[in-house]
């Protein structure tokens, strides 16, 4: 394994870092009543020039999380920050606690759930940086409005966002 080809070619470095204080409000609330998941867009695919997307996922105490699925175009990584989050690696569910990490390559079946009855949070990272924000925002709109989708509409929504349910 070697370093990738140089992408920055100027002679001197530049001031280009982006600081985001921990106190920044969430970019997305899955439920307006505050009982659902809050999502912080720490680094989007757009802001990292497609290299990765990093999100802080703060789950409320009510059970939530996707069913087992896989992605064809991106990897997904999970790092538990607080609470207990059930992680599925395609073979078995484990209770992830602070400091636990799960990496899933393209095609790897995975899922996560907060079933603890307590709030929990984690970092989600996608590589390369796909535009996951539109997927999260569409899910939030469905949850907020109570809109019901047919099985065919769910399949189309998932397909548009590289999510294949198992």
Domains annotated on the chain, with CATH: 38-165 (2.60.120.10)
Q: Does pTM surpass 0.85? A: yes
Residue 67 has pLDDT above 90, yes or no: yes
Alpha-carbon span 59 to 82, nearest angstrom: 10
Strands (DSSP E) along 6-64, which ranges? 28-29, 38-43, 53-59
pLDDT at 34: 66
pLDDT at 51: 96
Residue 142: both structure tokens together:
């469905």
Burial label, 155 (beta-carbon count in 10 A; 0-12, 13-18, 19+): middle
Assign 107 to helix, strand or coil.
coil
* pLDDT tens digits for range 107-163: 999 999 999 999 999 999 999 999 999 999 999 999 889 899 999 999 999 999 999
Alpha-carbon span 57 to 72, nearest angstrom: 22
Alpha-carbon span 32 to 38, nearest angstrom: 10
Q: Are 106 and 74 in contact (CB under 8 A)?
A: yes
Q: Are 85 and 45 in contact (CB under 8 A)?
A: no
Distance spanning both ends of the chain, measured CA to CA: 33
pLDDT at 53: 97
Residue 6: band (very low, low, confident or very high) from pLDDT cuts 50, 70, 90 = very high
Q: Is the dihedral of CA 56, 62, 66, 67 positive or negative?
A: positive
> What value does the mean pLDDT of the chain take?
95
């Amino acid at each position: 394994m070697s370093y990738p080809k140089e992408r920055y070619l100027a002679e001197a470095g530049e001031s280009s870092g982006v600081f985001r204080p921990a106190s920044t409000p969430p970019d997305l609330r899955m439920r307006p009543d505050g009982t659902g998941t809050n999502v912080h867009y720490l680094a989007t695919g757009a802001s990292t020039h497609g290299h990765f997307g990093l999100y802080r996922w703060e789950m409320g105490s009510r059970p939530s999380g996707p069913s087992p699925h896989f992605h064809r175009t991106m990897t997904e990584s999970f790092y538990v920050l607080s609470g207990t989050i059930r992680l599925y690696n395609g073979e078995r569910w484990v209770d992830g606690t602070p400091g636990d990490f799960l990496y899933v390559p393209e095609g790897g079946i995975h899922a996560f759930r907060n079933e603890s009855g307590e709030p929990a949070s984690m970092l989600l990272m996608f590589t390369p940086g796909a535009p996951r924000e539109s997927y999260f925002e569409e899910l939030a709109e469905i949850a907020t409005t109570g809109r019901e989708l047919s099985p065919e509409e769910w399949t189309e929504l998932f397909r548009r966002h590289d999510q294949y349910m198992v």
